[in-house]
């Protein structure tokens, strides 16, 4: 098929025409056991074309491809309210892009533009994509991504030999620099390998953690009993040397022990937040304690989403910041009513804004527990990531005179 024929074919599909059978028959290479040959796919997801204004839900001409059009049709077309909010997505559907789409949907939900049942349809459909089509569109491994690259192995030997004294002394800064140099070489060599898609997608495996530990170098490993680091100069695929057994064993125990302890820390934090804020309740809709206090700041684009549906003081009136009027206040200094200055027995509408009212939340203090949940999630993720990072700090960035 020509690109135009591919576009016409997909545009003619109904969302429910897009199923596993269609993807297998039209978009997937197949191996013919009788001829012992690979049968090429009829249509490639990467077939590119211009989707002209008005040909679909796009308001301008967009450069896209077959895969992106398939996702847009299956995922958003059955949910008109979501499609109106999201528009046509002409970019790879990476984790970062999906987060961006869902963030936009969440804001639209708060403004009553998307209903809860829309979310149910969306979540069912995106889960189907991730599960049913994994073997068609997500090659996890290729020969080069499941072995130690000869170029990386040679460079690793060279760098560890040149820095033998620092490695022996557990110099983590030197070890991290070596890791970064080795990963840079590996990433450059694998940049056109389809096996990199699983890392580039932003999904669970991380190139700087999973690939590094398995195929590059284990790097710094902490010994809590000695309060020091030792440096692993090999990766899991090299096998574990007799001299390294204590390093690997300690790192496993240290990770599990830290996870157990930090889970308790996060759990206790949630209990303290509940105890502290459980009495913070919203007053009735339209309430105003008439406090004279306010927060004054310059409204920037990055702050806009955080203060949407909050009230600012303009002369003798209160103005609710919303999608329509927000642009005219960007870059200007505003005076915002704040819970910090509320004088009511309950938190009044004027000081709290409308975001919680729109979500039907009255016991607003209990939402503070989300801080503890986020903290716990970060600690859980840290258990699976053994990499070390260093940053440079300027004292002027952290000390306010």
Q: Which helix (H) or strand (E) holds 140?
A: none
pLDDT at 248 over 60: yes
Rounded to whole angstroms, the Cα distance separating 196 from 203 reads 11
- Output the six-digit token pair for 301: 């684009």
Distances (CA, A) of 42 to 14, 24, 25, 46, 197: 19, 10, 8, 12, 22
Is the pTM higher than 0.85? The answer reads: no
Q: Which helix (H) or strand (E) holds 64?
A: strand 62-65
pLDDT in tens, 85-109: 999 999 998 889 999 999 999 888 8
What pLDDT is recorded for position 385? 57
Q: Which helix (H) or strand (E) holds 368?
A: none
**Residues 198, 138: contact at Cβ < 8 Å?**
yes
Query: What percent of the chain is modeled with pLDDT above 90?
Result: 51
Rounded to whole angstroms, the Cα distance separating 92 from 96 reads 10
What pLDDT is recorded for position 392? 67
**Nearest-CA neighbor of 367 among 268, 274, 264?**
274
Query: Residues 243-248: what's their mean pLDDT?
Result: 77
pLDDT at 49 over 70: yes
Q: Among all chains, which residue has been given the structure tokens 């997500």? A: 138
Q: Which helix (H) or strand (E) holds 312?
A: strand 311-314
Rounded to whole angstroms, the Cα distance separating 114 from 84 reads 10
Q: Among all chains, which residue has been given the structure tokens 């002409």? A: 90
pLDDT at 399 over 60: no
Alpha helices by DSSP H, listed for 278-368, are 301-307, 326-329, 349-352, 355-358
pLDDT at 400 over 50: no
Mean pLDDT of the chain: 87
pLDDT at 58 over 80: yes
């Amino acid at each position: 098929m020509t690109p135009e024929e591919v576009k016409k074919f997909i545009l003619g599909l109904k969302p429910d025409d897009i199923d596993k059978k269609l993807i297998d028959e039209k978009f997937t290479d197949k191996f013919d056991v009788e001829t012992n040959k690979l049968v090429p796919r009829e249509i490639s997801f990467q077939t590119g074309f211009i989707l002209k204004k008005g040909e679909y839900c796009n308001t301008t001409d967009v450069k896209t491809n077959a895969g992106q059009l398939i996702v847009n049709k299956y995922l958003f077309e059955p949910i008109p309210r979501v499609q109106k909010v999201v528009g046509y997505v002409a970019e790879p559907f990476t984790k970062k892009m999906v987060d961006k789409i869902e963030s936009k949907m969440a804001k639209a939900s708060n403004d009553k533009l998307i209903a809860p049942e829309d979310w149910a349809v969306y979540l069912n459909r995106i889960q189907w994509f991730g599960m049913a089509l994994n073997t068609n569109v997500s090659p996890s491994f290729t020969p080069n991504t499941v072995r130690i690259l000869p170029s990386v192995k040679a460079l690793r030997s060279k760098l560890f030999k040149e820095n033998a004294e620092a490695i022996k002394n557990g110099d983590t800064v030197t070890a991290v620099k070596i890791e970064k140099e080795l990963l840079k070489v590996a990433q450059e060599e694998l940049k056109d390998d389809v096996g990199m898609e699983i890392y580039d997608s932003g999904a669970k495996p991380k190139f700087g953690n999973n690939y590094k530990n398995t195929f590059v170098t284990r790097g710094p490993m902490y010994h809590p009993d000695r309060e020091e680091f030792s440096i692993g100069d090999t990766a899991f695929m090299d096998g574990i040397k007799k001299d390294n057994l204590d390093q690997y064993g300690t790192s496993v125990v240290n990770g599990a022990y830290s996870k157990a302890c930090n889970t308790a820390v996060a759990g206790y934090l949630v209990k303290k937040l509940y105890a502290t804020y459980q009495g913070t309740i919203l007053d009735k809709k339209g309430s105003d304690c008439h406090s004279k206090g306010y927060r004054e700041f310059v409204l920037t684009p990055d702050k806009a989403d955080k203060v949407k549906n909050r009230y600012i003081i303009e002369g003798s009136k209160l103005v609710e910041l919303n999608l329509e009027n927000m642009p005219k206040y960007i870059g200007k200094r505003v005076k915002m009513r704040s819970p910090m200055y509320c004088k009511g027995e309950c938190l009044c509408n004027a000081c709290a804004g409308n975001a919680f009212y729109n979500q039907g939340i009255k016991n607003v203090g209990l939402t503070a527990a989300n801080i503890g949940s986020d903290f716990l999630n970060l600690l859980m993720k840290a258990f699976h990531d053994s990499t070390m990072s260093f940053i440079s700090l300027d004292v002027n960035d952290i000390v306010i005179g």
